[in-house]
């Protein structure tokens, strides 16, 4: 990244602290990734929009991220500015027309906030490790639920202004949305939830947590389901039927517990995951003629 541009961004956004040469392995759930040129963590919408405008003005590439739970950063790292929305951008508020959450709020925290208010609908989200922003951007889901079905409106930055987009206009589909299509930044979202029995809500959350613990390799760093669900199939089942459970490349492994998860069993690099991904894709294509597309976002440069 051009240091002159970085200095200009800092001058245009004096209220935002910017770190330089930040190792991305500390900020992704896969625990891999080379250094980013710079990282900023804005605390409010004004600072976030100022950063985005300053980056555009200086021609600086931007990667927006939340919890890093669906992100594979290559070993050479990221040229440009990483904007991370985390605990400083994670307010959850009651609104007359629904529960509002900022983009940096964890989905688990949002699910818990709904329980605290005896609101049902978000039980499925309690075990998703991502944030509201990423969840809205990719229409995250699990156990038959999807965020897009619950959204009254999404608050976005469209590269020029802040807009409120009605949920029905967000073009939510499997792991996609209008925000993804347009490259918009999700600032937050309002959720339409129904009143429910807190005991029943809590029981369902415990049941789903137990199912996750039983079936998913939660003890290892991962990005969750590594591949999208191909039409008419389940990625994990295809990988298992191809005999790939336990397949290893360096420190990356196809989980023996759930073949849809690629896990870091220790000391993995992004290169290990990319090699393993390619091996899995090749084997599944050769055996079943099905192309597995990664669900995880792959960003950055090779070492």
Indicate which residues carry an active-site annotation: 175, 225, 295
CA distances from 117 to 114, 168, 196, 240 (A): 5, 25, 9, 41
Q: Find how far residue 163's CA is from the centre of its chain.
A: 22
175-181: long-range pairs with CB below 8 Å, 24+: 175/138, 175/139, 175/140, 175/228, 175/295, 176/138, 176/139, 177/136, 177/137, 177/138, 177/139, 177/148, 179/136, 179/137, 179/154, 180/137, 180/138
With residues binned 3-state (H G I as helix, E B as strand, rest as coil), the percentages for the chain, rounded to 5, are: 35, 30, 35
DSSP class of residue 173 equals B
């Amino acid at each position: 990244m051009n240091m002159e541009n970085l200095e200009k961004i800092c001058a245009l956004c004096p209220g935002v602290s910017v770190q330089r040469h930040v190792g991305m392995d500390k900020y992704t759930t896969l625990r891999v990734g080379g250094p980013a040129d710079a990282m900023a963590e804005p605390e409010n919408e004004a600072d976030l929009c100022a950063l985005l405008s300053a980056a555009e003005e200086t021609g600086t590439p931007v990667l927006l991220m939340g919890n890093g739970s669906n992100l594979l950063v290559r070993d050479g790292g990221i040229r440009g500015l990483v904007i991370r929305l985390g605990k400083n951008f994670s307010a959850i508020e009651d609104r007359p027309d629904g529960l509002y959450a900022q983009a940096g709020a964890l989905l688990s925290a949002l699910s818990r906030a709904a329980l605290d208010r005896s609101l049902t609908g978000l039980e499925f989200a309690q075990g998703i490790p991502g944030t509201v922003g990423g969840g809205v951007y990719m229409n995250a889901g699990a156990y038959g639920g999807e965020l897009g079905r619950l959204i009254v409106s999404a608050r976005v930055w469209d590269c020029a202004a802040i807009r409120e987009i009605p949920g029905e206009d967000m073009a939510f589909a499997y792991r996609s949305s209008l925000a993804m299509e347009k490259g918009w930044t999700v600032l937050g979202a309002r959720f339409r939830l129904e009143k429910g029995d807190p005991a029943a809500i809590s029981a369902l959350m415990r049941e789903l947590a137990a199912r996750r613990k039983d079936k998913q390799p939660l003890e290892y760093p991962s990005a969750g389901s590594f591949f999208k669900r191909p039409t008419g199939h389940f990625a994990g089942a295809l990988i298992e039927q191809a005999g790939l459970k336990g397949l290893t490349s360096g420190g990356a492994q196809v989980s023996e517990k759930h073949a849809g998860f690629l896990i870091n069993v220790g000391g993995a690099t992004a290169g290990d995951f990319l090699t393993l991904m390619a091996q899995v894709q090749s084997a599944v294509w050769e055996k079943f003629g099905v192309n597995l597309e990664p669900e995880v976002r792959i960003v950055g440069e090779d070492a």
